[in-house]
């Protein structure tokens, strides 16, 4: 066991060292590497190309084939660019990111927290969501990101290091309920990527998302109800290549005042708007819909 841990540590440090050296390269070079990777991923390997085309076609039945094809190609290009930006994020100074990431209506979250409430911020896999690790630099309150541990111990450790670089605190999804209900001393912001496929499918949390009946993760709503948290949606869009806007949109000031399913329904509406605004920015590679 000790030998295995030693090997994992060596492997992690090697991966981090390589990523750090790459992050020192000019962004133009990293984007060029991303473009080459995109070409091989789409044209040569065809990574989940059928899934992506099928997902987009079903989500936008009113679009013609040429329009669908354009969204698919732009999705792969953006997806590859996100990885280049993530690599750059290993060493890029906060002052540089501050010029590239615009956060709007952040005072809304401050108001909720100052009033003594926890705030749950739900979002989707829109734009480069990994850029959210920069938010602690902009806020005076604690921020926790809820995550699902990756199978690879090495990559999981690398992502935790990257995501916590500016002060973000990471909580495994299995521990967030206890943490939130026992941490009464001070309120904080909790980030949830809520558009993932739920492990347990409940019919009352089945909504229409992009013209398709979709089971939606119910954990955010249930935790919000139990804790009496305020809930906001983080609307992420790309201003230009490498630059993003994160807009804090109110969903409810007190989850306990909302009916069952109401929070999730509002979340789905806001997520749908986010995707339709930039259809190429959502993560289309997941098999959310079967059949």
- pLDDT digit string (tens) for 18-50? 999 999 999 999 999 999 999 999 999 999 999
Is the dihedral angle over the CA atoms 45, 54, 261, 116 positive or is it negative?
Answer: positive
Model confidence, pTM:
0.93
pLDDT one-digit tens code per residue, 122-178: 999 999 999 999 999 999 999 999 999 999 999 999 999 999 999 999 999 989 888
CA 52 to each of CA 55, 251, 288: distance values in angstroms, whole numbers, following the listed order: 5, 30, 11
Q: Average pLDDT, whole number, for the chain?
A: 93
Contact of 172 with 92, CB cutoff 8 Å: no
Q: Which residues pair with 193 in a beta bridge?
A: 123
């Amino acid at each position: 066991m000790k030998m295995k841990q030693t090997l994992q540590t060596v492997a992690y440090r090697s991966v981090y060292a390589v990523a750090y050296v790459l992050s020192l390269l000019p962004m133009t070079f990293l984007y060029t590497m991303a473009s080459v990777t995109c070409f091989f991923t789409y044209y040569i390997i065809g990574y989940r190309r059928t899934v992506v085309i099928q997902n987009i076609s079903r989500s936008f039945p009113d679009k013609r084939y040429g329009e669908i094809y354009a969204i698919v190609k732009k999705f792969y290009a953006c997806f590859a660019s996100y990885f280049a930006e993530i690599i750059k994020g290993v060493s890029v100074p906060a002052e540089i990111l501050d010029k590239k990431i615009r956060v709007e209506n952040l005072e809304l979250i401050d108001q909720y927290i100052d009033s003594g409430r926890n705030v749950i911020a739900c979002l989707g896999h829109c734009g480069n969501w990994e850029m959210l690790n920069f938010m602690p630099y902009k806020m005076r309150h604690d921020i926790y990101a809820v995550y699902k541990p990756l199978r690879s111990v090495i990559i999981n450790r690398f992502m935790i290091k990257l995501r916590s670089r500016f002060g973000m605190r990471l909580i495994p999804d299995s521990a967030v309920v206890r943490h939130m209900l026992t941490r009464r001393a001070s309120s904080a912001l909790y980030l949830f990527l809520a558009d993932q496929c739920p492990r347990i499918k409940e019919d009352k949390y089945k909504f229409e998302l992009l013209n398709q009946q979709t089971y939606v993760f119910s954990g955010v709503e249930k935790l919000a109800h139990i804790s009496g948290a305020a809930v906001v949606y983080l609307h992420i869009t790309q201003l230009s290549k490498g630059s993003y806007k994160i807009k804090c949109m109110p969903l409810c000031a007190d989850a306990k005042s909302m009916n069952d399913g109401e929070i999730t329904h509002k979340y789905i509406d806001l997520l749908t708007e986010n995707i339709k605004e930039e259809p190429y920015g959502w993560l289309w590679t997941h098999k959310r819909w079967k059949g």
